[in-house]
Amino acid sequence: MLMEAASAASSVFLYPQPAIFRRLHSLGGNRSAKTLLRRVPHLSRLSSTARAADSTQHAPPVAASSSKTVVPDNDFSLAKVSFGVIGLAVGGTLLSYGFGAYFTILPGSEWSALMLTYGFPLAIIGMALQYAELKPVPCITYSDAETLRETCATPILKQVRSDVIRYRYGDEQHLDEALKRIFQYGQGGGIPRRSAPILQMIREEVTEDGKYCLVLVFEAKLLQLSDFEKRQAKFTSFFGPGITAEIGTGENPDLYEVRLISEMSTQSS
């Protein structure tokens, strides 16, 4: 029937136009939709296009290129432990048990004085350490960079990495001394202390020409890219010798990257 043919033709594409229906009415008869499509060339082309689009829509996505392998940081080290938390936990435990034993709520009343004597200063030291504590920054290490670190990273780059991924006490921020000399806080040509960049994370990677690179990612909401670029030579001299500093922007507008590229190679080492 004509209506069946029209229905079959409309299933090929979502919104059939009136001109196509007039063409189908002019053909008439009990021809099947397949016969009508052969008689109307542009309907065949539309049918092929629709099938191609449908197959493209349901085709599985192309697999993305495999990204670099990130090395998980599972090694235990005392540098990754907060001494403030340990001191507060041990001191608080001794104080709690000491008071409980002193008032005979807990056993060991003969040891209560000793536990109170040591528990109180340990708790105070723990709280002080927590107040002055500077937490480590995240470190992303790629497998190829980890292989090159021991042979190609300079001693200063190794020291920088070691300093920023552990707890520190008494410092206002990571790399505080380095940033103070490079940006010259409060001096002529320098920046105000309140505008100082803050280290957010570090990344170990390998450059396109196979060199070890330590990337320092800073957040600096009050600075511009030019403030970093005109101090590129100072970054090179401070973290040198044997490195080249490159400046770039991060993923967010307020993030800036300082790439410290080691000039050492496996051959020279």
Average pLDDT, integer, range 132-156: 93
Nearest residue to 10 (alpha-carbon basis) of 51, 60, 47: 47
Average pLDDT, integer, range 104-128: 91
Long-range CB contacts (within 8 A, 24+) of 197-202: 197/223, 197/228, 197/256, 198/173, 199/137, 199/164, 199/173, 199/174, 199/175, 200/137, 200/138, 200/255, 201/137, 201/138, 201/139, 201/140, 202/137, 202/138, 202/139, 202/140, 202/160, 202/161, 202/164, 202/165
113 and 95 within one domain = yes
Helix, strand, coil tally for the chain in percent (to 5): 50, 15, 35
Tell me: the pLDDT tens digits for 55-93?
A: 333 333 333 323 579 888 777 777 778 999 999 999 999
Whether the pLDDT of residue 54 is over 80: the answer is no
249 and 150 within one domain = yes
pLDDT recorded at residue 185: 92
| Cα–Cα–Cα angle for 30, 34, 37, rounded to 5 degrees | 100
Q: 169 in a domain, yes or no?
A: yes
Average pLDDT, the chain: 78
92 and 16 within one domain = no
User: At residue 257, what are phi and psi to the nearest 5 degrees?
Assistant: -115, 135
Count H helices, E strands: the chain? 11, 7
Sign of the CA dihedral with 24 first, then 25, 26, and 27 last: positive
pLDDT recorded at residue 268: 53
148 and 246 within one domain = yes
Tally of structural domains, the chain: 3
172 and 116 within one domain = no
Tell me: the pLDDT tens digits for 210-266?
A: 999 999 999 999 999 999 999 999 999 999 899 999 999 988 889 999 999 999 876
Average pLDDT, integer, range 123-141: 93
150 and 243 within one domain = yes
Structure tokens of 145? 């960079």
pLDDT recorded at residue 33: 43
149 and 227 within one domain = yes
Boundary of a domain, candidates 34, 50, 66 = 50
186 and 101 within one domain = no
Better-predicted residue by pLDDT, 143 or 45:
143
Rounded Cα distance between 6 and 226, Å, is 67
160 and 118 within one domain = no
Peptide bond into 72 cis (omega under 30): no
Q: 44 in a domain, yes or no?
A: yes
250 and 149 within one domain = yes
Q: 269 in a domain, yes or no?
A: no
Whether the pLDDT of residue 40 is over 80: the answer is no
pTM above 0.75, yes or no: no
Query: 171 pLDDT band (50/70/90 cuts)?
Result: confident
pLDDT recorded at residue 135: 93
pLDDT recorded at residue 170: 85
125 and 144 within one domain = no
202 and 102 within one domain = no
The whole domain housing 82 covers 78-131
Query: 267 pLDDT band (50/70/90 cuts)?
Result: low
